Amino acid sequence: MLFNSNQMSEIVHLHDKHFERFISESRIQKAVDQLAKSIYEDIGSDEIPLFVGILNGSFIFAADFVRAYPGDSEISFIKLASYAGMDSTGKVKQLLGLSEDIKDRTVIILEDIIDTGNTLSKIYDTFEKLPVKELKLATLFFKPDVFTKALHIDYIGISIPDKFIVGYGLDYDGLGRNLKDIYQIKENIMKNIVIFGPPGAGKGTQAARLKEHYQLVHISTGDVFRANIKEKTDLGMLAKHYIDKGDLVPDEVTIDMLKAEVEKNPEAKGFLFDGFPRTEKQALALDAFLQAKGTMINAMIALEVPEDELVRRLLERGKISGRTDDQDASKIRYRFKEYERKTAVLKDYYQKQGKYFGINGLGDISEITQLLKEVIDQF
Ligand code: IMP
Ligand code: MG
């Protein structure tokens, strides 16, 4: 059997958002039982009510509700929708699907959630014209802070704050209906950036400025390696073992070192990853790791500078620093080829998630910082 990892977690990830567990399955069940009991007490055993579930969201609630209802009942469904994504569009569509004879019946609408009340008022308008004996409304979840209508809601299961929820039939852009518990949106307050750039692009300079401005923890893989080796940590010794043999340090070791670095900063406002991830495997591991912490990479920002300019800059630097690898134009060009070859897969990886931002790295240092900030300020 396939195991849905979202089913059990404290935090689930749907599309681009994180949600954290908010209301347990058993608490929901108690609220459903309570609603069924109260409604039955009001209607009595002599009457067979017609429950009308509002699709799609109420399908799970309605299924549990009719089974919790102590008396006989009928159930039907109608469809209405007002939500695309997470914003109420304020427009509700036509009501579809009611085929039962409702003349002189007691009709009880079953809503999964009432937010602004737009949907509800549309339902009222429609039913008011119909010859029902009585119309009542029951909702499992209710957001009192945003409800704007003067309409009366007869039965309310659980009142919740004005925060988007998913699970138990409720969705975020189609996903999350299958979750047994209710999850509440978790606003991502961390800013996690991967910064990229070929040698000479000015990455170090810009990273220092961003770190300062956003109070981010700057994690440079090179520094992390050197520090671990110097401090003789277990991971450092492991990495050294590979390096001494002339082998590449395996992804697992690099990933564990980076994770340890993140864990050292539990209060961080975000991280600026520099020189990591380098492979798709590392990028996947980083995503999974951050996701489990309820956060994610917001952007991969690459400083783009034409190759000729980079060669010029590095040759200039070579004259001053005496670094031999910065003194030979053909060696420099080879390093760019390597850079492009190795980073193309990552550019692809983040581009597919809409997280790749190329920044013009030519020009005044402060102007470039400004461009970087414009990207980061979106999050
Ligand atoms: P209203 O018309 O603003 O009251 O919104 C009612 C509809 O919006 C519900 O039937 C849901 O489909 C959707 N909705 C409102 N709030 C949420 C939420 O927190 N999670 C998922 N869907 C919601
Ligand atoms: Mg609904």
Task: Tell whether ligand 1 has an atom less than 6 A from the beta carbon of residue 114.
Answer: yes
Task: Give the pLDDT confidence of 136-165 residue by residue, as tens digits.
Answer: 999 999 999 999 888 999 999 999 999 999
DSSP secondary structure letter of residue 249: P
The verdict on whether 293 is a catalytic residue reads no
Q: Is the pLDDT of residue 242 over 60?
A: yes
Task: Give the pLDDT confidence of 342-351 residue by residue, as tens digits.
Answer: 888 999 999 9
pLDDT band at 232 (very low <50, low <70, confident <90, very high): very high
Which amino acid is present at 192? Answer: N
Which pLDDT belongs to residue 348? 94
**DSSP states along 313-350:** HHHHHHHHH--GGGS-HHHHHHHHHHHHHHHHHHHHHH
pLDDT band at 94 (very low <50, low <70, confident <90, very high): low
pLDDT band at 86 (very low <50, low <70, confident <90, very high): low
Alpha-carbon distance 54 to 296, whole Å? 34
Which residues make Cβ contacts (< 8 Å) with residue 234, sequence separation at least 6?
Answer: none
Q: pTM higher than 0.75, yes or no?
A: no
Element (H, E) at 191: strand 191-196
**Average pLDDT over every residue of 290-302:** 89
**What is the position in ligand 1's atom list of the atom closest to the CA of 58?**
10
Q: Is the pLDDT of residue 127 over 70?
A: yes
The verdict on whether 341 is a catalytic residue reads no
pLDDT band at 1 (very low <50, low <70, confident <90, very high): very low
The radius of gyration of the chain's CA atoms, rounded to the nearest angstrom, is 29
Cβ atoms 53, 38 nearer than 8 A = no
Task: Tell whether ligand 1 has an atom less than 6 A from the beta carbon of residue 119.
Answer: yes
Evaluated on CA atoms 234, 238, 241, 244, the torsion sign reads: negative
Which pLDDT belongs to residue 126? 82
Q: Is the pLDDT of residue 7 over 70?
A: no
DSSP secondary structure letter of residue 161: -
Which residues make Cβ contacts (< 8 Å) with residue 47, sequence separation at least 6?
Answer: 106
**Average pLDDT over every residue of 309-331:** 84
Which pLDDT belongs to residue 29? 98
The verdict on whether 317 is a catalytic residue reads yes
Query: Which of 209, 313, 335, 347 is an active site residue?
Result: 335
The verdict on whether 323 is a catalytic residue reads yes
Same fold, 11-185 and 191-376: yes
Alpha-carbon distance 234 to 211, whole Å? 28
pLDDT band at 190 (very low <50, low <70, confident <90, very high): confident
Task: Tell whether ligand 1 has an atom less than 6 A from the beta carbon of residue 9.
Answer: no
Alpha-carbon distance 136 to 207, whole Å? 60
* Packing angle of the helix pair 251-263, 234-244 (nearest 10 deg): 150
What CATH architecture applies to the domain 191-376?
3-Layer(aba) Sandwich (3.40)
Query: Which of 278, 312, 333, 373 is an active site residue?
Result: 278
Mean of the per-residue pLDDT values of the chain: 89
Alpha-carbon distance 52 to 299, whole Å? 45
Alpha-carbon distance 267 to 265, whole Å? 6
Q: Could you tell me the CA-to-CA distances from 302 to 140, 190, 212, 241, 342 in Å, in that order?
A: 47, 20, 19, 32, 14
What are the sequence ranges of the domains in the chain? 11-185, 191-376
pLDDT band at 270 (very low <50, low <70, confident <90, very high): very high
Which pLDDT belongs to residue 194? 96
CA of 296 to the centre of ligand 2 (A): 29
Cβ atoms 21, 180 nearer than 8 A = no
Choose the weakest-confidence range: 104-108, 199-203, 256-260, 268-272.
199-203
| Paired residues of 241 in beta bridges | none
Query: Which of 240, 293, 313, 317 is an active site residue?
Result: 317
Task: Tell whether ligand 1 has an atom less than 6 A from the beta carbon of residue 88.
Answer: yes
Ligand 1 pocket mutation, candidates 28, 115, 166, 187, criterion most atoms within 8 A of CB? 115
Task: Give the pLDDT confidence of 10-36 residue by residue, as tens digits.
Answer: 889 898 788 999 999 999 999 999 999
**DSSP states along 65-99:** HHHH-SS--EEEEEE---EETTEE-S-----B---
Choose the weakest-confidence range: 18-32, 76-90, 224-238, 271-285.
76-90
CATH code for the part of the protein at 11-185? 3.40.50.2020
CA of 156 to the centre of ligand 1 (A): 15
CA of 115 to the centre of ligand 1 (A): 5
Which pLDDT belongs to residue 10? 84
Residue 2: CB atoms within 10 A of its CB come to 4
Alpha-carbon distance 198 to 82, whole Å? 47
Q: Is the pLDDT of residue 84 over 60?
A: no
Task: Give the pLDDT confidence of 323-339 residue by residue, as tens digits.
Answer: 777 788 888 888 888 88
The verdict on whether 230 is a catalytic residue reads no
Which pLDDT belongs to residue 302? 94
**What is the position in ligand 1's atom list of the atom closest to the CA of 118?**
2
**What is the position in ligand 1's atom list of the atom closest to the CA of 81?**
12
